[in-house]
Chain A
Amino acid sequence: MEPVTLTVVSAGLGKPSSTRLLADRLVEAVVRRLDARTGELTHAEAQPRPGGGSVQVRVVELRDLATEIAHHLVTGFPGPALREALESVERADALIAVTPIFAASYSGLFKSFFDVLDREALDGTPVLLGATGGTARHSLALEYALRPLFAHLRAAPVPTAVFAASEDWAGGDAHTADLPSRIDRAAGELAALVGAAPAVRKPRDGSPRDEEVVPFADQLAALGVQ
């Protein structure tokens, strides 16, 4: 069985950043869920899994790519490090995307990264959305800003999006489930989508394949040209 590729996009600016902290917690929960599932599958198929490591995680820290992202906006093509990051997002079986909430929405850096991503790169990709902010009053930005963005990209965001306010790193409040249980619920939703009847996905190396090209005779026929 091919290892599952999990790519994480973190748009935190601090070092260390609470956005990255949330991203790491989400990764850990998703990997745990996927490992549990792969274990069951392996057991059912009665085949030992060679060498373990059924999930390959790649973390993309947008802070390190900030200059290349700006250059891409200007020149229309990615530098080497950004290109590698974009490809890892395109190739991912599942994506975790986490941003700080700035001025009532995702950060500009976060949006710029998805602006330069190929428009079809996330077609059908399961995505777990996460965000951080100083107060829980910003939490709905996940629903009114991030979720529509990923709907536009035709990704498949899972129902639970995880917001971590400052107080969540302590006990949270009395009215909502605590952060670990929200993380766990979202991770379960993401793991359930990985490998489950994937939507039509384009080849992940981005190259046009012969069979992808509409034969020219068909293009002419569609226009009624002889």
Chain B
Amino acid sequence: MQFGIFTVGDVTTDPTTGRAPTEGERIKAMVAIARKAEEVGLDVFATGEHHNPPFVPSSPTTLLGYIAAATERLILSTSTTLITTNDPVKIAEDYAMLQHLADGRVDLMMGRGNTGPVYPWFGQDIRQGIPLAIENYALLRQLWREDVVDWEGKFRTPLQGFTSTPRPLDGVPPFVWHGSIRSPEIAEQAAYYGDGFFANNIFWPKDHFKRLIDLYRRRFASYGHGTPEQAVVGLGGQAFIRRNSQDAVREFRPYFDNAPVYGHGPSLEEFTEQTPLTVGSPQEVVDKTLTFRESFGDYQRQLFLMDHAGLPLKTVLEQLDLLGEEVVPVLREEFAKGRPAEVPDGPTHAARLAQASAVATAGA
């Protein structure tokens, strides 16, 4: 089981001070947050990709490459990589390059994005969102798995005799998750390839995500990748933690009330009751997170959103201390209990390399 954080990379005014960080401050803060994640024993740091203000991470592999040099164990990932509007050739190149620089500590999550104008800005048609996700990803897979590619599709210039460089590290492409908030087509895509499926899990009550994940698990098995329990599932979550529950609520309320995504809507109390958000003590975060397993089955990766809504860097770093020192160790212990042996661990390059070698040996 892997634990980590994912960031949207928003530049948001701190509602308690009226001050917003500069883009430079926010970018450096993301680096500090990633380093902290490694320091407190988390496994994964994932960044969003956006091409409009108030978001800064338009160039994920630049950010992740820099973080790779500043860390040693942390897996670097995305949440999400826009498979619809990025050229799949550039994704293949960028992330293979990052894989080498990070010694394999790389995976990525495909998504379609939620900002309509990004499609026309990058020369695409939003009505083709799902077909773009399907065709582009099929090409990306081919570029990582075949040294010389001939390709013709609907959405990009054909390729003749093209080799994407560098080749994936050790001949093992990065693991891929597919993230979706509501599309069964994407759960089906993840199942077809035996890739991971990540449910953002933040904006909706859990029943909705449960239906998507159950579908993914069933289809994963029907495509012969293993049992439904062996499907690779990741979940989002979010928390604001203080040792004392009342302190957490008091401190977080102004950020919640003004949060760009859900502020000025339901009360913090309603929202925490209806969604995975926990605002409270480490034990409350543990308790809520453990319910995810009851709903979705044993899973492989839990990412928390911790650095949004204008929270100052100092607060976020304190949050990560609490998450890494008082929440995740308990979760590791609890999630290990009763976990069937056949349920896979979270994906790593080393494990995938060993698996590829075993397959090659068996085939020889």
What is the CB-to-nearest-CB distance from A116 to chain B, in angstroms, rounded to a whole number?
Answer: 13
**Chain A residues near B203 (CB-CB < 8 A):** 75-77
B-contacting 9-mer, from A159-167, A178-186, A213-221: A213-221
Q: Which residues from B are CB-within-8-Å of A70? A: 265
- Tell me which of B203, B215, B265 has the highest count of chain A C-beta atoms within 10 A of its own C-beta: B265
* Residue A196 lies at the interface, judged by CB distance under 8 Å to chain B: no
A215 to B188, CA, bound (A): 7
What CA separation (Å) do A212 and B219 show in the bound complex? 12
Query: If A213-B215, A224-B154, A225-B153 touch, does A219 touch B188 (CB 8 Å cutoff)?
Result: yes
User: Within 8 Å of chain A (Cβ to Cβ): is B135?
Assistant: yes
Residues of A within 8 A of B184 (CB): 208, 212-213
Q: Which residues of B contact A76 (CB under 8 A)?
A: 203-204
CB distance from A192 to the nearest CB of B (A): 35
1/0 contact string of A187-226 vs chain B (CB within 8 Å): 0000000000000000000111010111111011011111
Residue A148 CB within 8 A of the other chain = no
Q: Digit string of B112-145 for contact with A (CB within 8 Å is 1, else 0)?
A: 0000000000000000001100110010000000
In angstroms, Cα B270 to Cα A213, docked, is 33
Of chain A, the residue at the smallest CB distance from B205 is: A77
Kindly state the separation between the CA atoms of A224 and B130 in the bound complex, as whole angstroms.
Answer: 14
Number of chain A residues close to chain B: CB under 8 A: 26
Assess whether A80 is interfacial by the CB under 8 Å rule. Answer: yes
Question: Closest CB-CB distance, B113 to chain A, in whole Å?
Answer: 15
In the assembled complex, the Cα of A218 lies from the Cα of B215 at a distance in Å of 17
Number of A-B pairs whose CB atoms are under 8 Å? 75
Q: Does A3 contact B (CB under 8 A)?
A: no
With A77-B204, A224-B154 known to touch, is A210 a contact of B218 (CB < 8 Å)?
yes
When C-beta atoms are compared, the residue in chain A nearest to B210 turns out to be: A207
B156 vs chain A, min Cβ distance (A): 12
Are B134 and A220 in touch, CB under 8 angstroms? Answer: yes
Residue of A75, A216, A222, A226 near B265 (CB, 8 A) is: A75
Residue B185, interface by CB 8 Å:
yes
Complex: chain B residue closest to A210, CB-CB? B218
In the docked arrangement, what's the CA distance between A76 and B138, Å?
31
Q: Is B339 an interface residue (CB 8 A)?
A: no
Q: Is there an interface contact between A225 and B270, defined as CB atoms closer than 8 Å? A: no
- Does A71 make an interface contact (CB < 8 A)? yes
Q: Are B262 and A74 in contact (CB under 8 A)?
A: yes
Q: Is A79 an interface residue (CB 8 A)?
A: yes
Per-residue interface assignment for chain A, residues 78 to 98, with 1 indicating a CB less than 8 Å from any chain B CB and 0 otherwise: 011001000000000000000
The answer to whether residues A213 and B185 also contact, given A75-B203, A77-B203 and a CB cut-off of 8 A, is yes
With a CB–CB cut-off of 8 A, which chain B residues contact A224? 153-154
Complex contact A71–B189 (CB within 8 A): no
> B243 contacts the other chain (Cβ, under 8 Å)?
no
Asked if B212 is at the interface of the complex by the 8 Å CB criterion, the answer is yes
User: What is the bound-complex CA distance between A207 and B214, given in angstroms?
Assistant: 10
> Do A223 and B265 have beta carbons less than 8 Å apart?
no
Q: Assuming A79-B270, A208-B212, A215-B188, is B135 touching A225 (CB within 8 A)?
A: yes
**How many whole Å from B81's CB to the nearest CB in chain A?**
19
| Shortest Cβ distance from A223 into B: residue | B135
> A214 touching B265 by the CB < 8 A rule?
no
B255 located at the interface, meaning its Cβ lies under 8 Å from any Cβ of chain A in the complex: no
Contact A75 B215 (CB under 8 A): no
**B218 closest partner in A (C-beta):** A210
Within the assembled complex, what's the spacing in Å between the Cα atoms of A105 and B38? 58
Q: Is the CB of B264 within 8 A of A79?
A: no
* A213 contacts across to B, CB distance below 8 A: 184-185, 187-188, 215, 219
Is B357 an interface residue, CB under 8 A from the partner? Answer: no
Q: Is the CB of B153 within 8 A of A216?
A: no
A71-B215 in contact given A208-B184, A216-B188, A220-B138 (Cβ < 8 Å): no
Q: Does B192 contact A (CB under 8 A)?
A: yes
- Complex contact A71–B211 (CB within 8 A): no
Chain B residues in 8 Å Cβ range of A207: 211
Given contacts A214-B185, A216-B192, is CB(A225)–CB(B138) below 8 Å? yes
CB-defined contacts of A225 to chain B, threshold 8 Å: 134-135, 138, 153
Separation of A73 and B328 alpha carbons in the complex (Å) = 34
Give the CA-CA distance A213 to B214 in the complex, in Å. Answer: 13
Which chain B positions have C-beta within 8 A of A217?
A: 192
Docked CA distance A71–B266 (Å): 6
**A210 with B215, Cβ < 8 A, contacts A76-B204, A223-B134 known:** yes
Nearest CB of B to A65, in Å: 13
Cβ of B246 within 8 Å of any chain A Cβ, yes or no, is no
A133 → B minimal CB distance (Å): 32
* Selected A-B contacts with CB under 8 Å, 21 pairs: A74-B263, A74-B264, A74-B265, A75-B266, A75-B271, A77-B208, A77-B274, A79-B266, A210-B222, A213-B219, A214-B188, A216-B188, A219-B130, A219-B134, A220-B134, A223-B131, A223-B134, A223-B138, A224-B154, A225-B138, A226-B138
Interface residues of A (CB under 8 A from B): 70-71, 74-77, 79-80, 83, 206-208, 210, 212-217, 219-220, 222-226
Interface residues of B (CB under 8 A from A): 130-131, 134-135, 138, 153-154, 184-185, 187-189, 191-192, 203-205, 208, 211-212, 215, 218-219, 222, 261-266, 270-271, 274-275
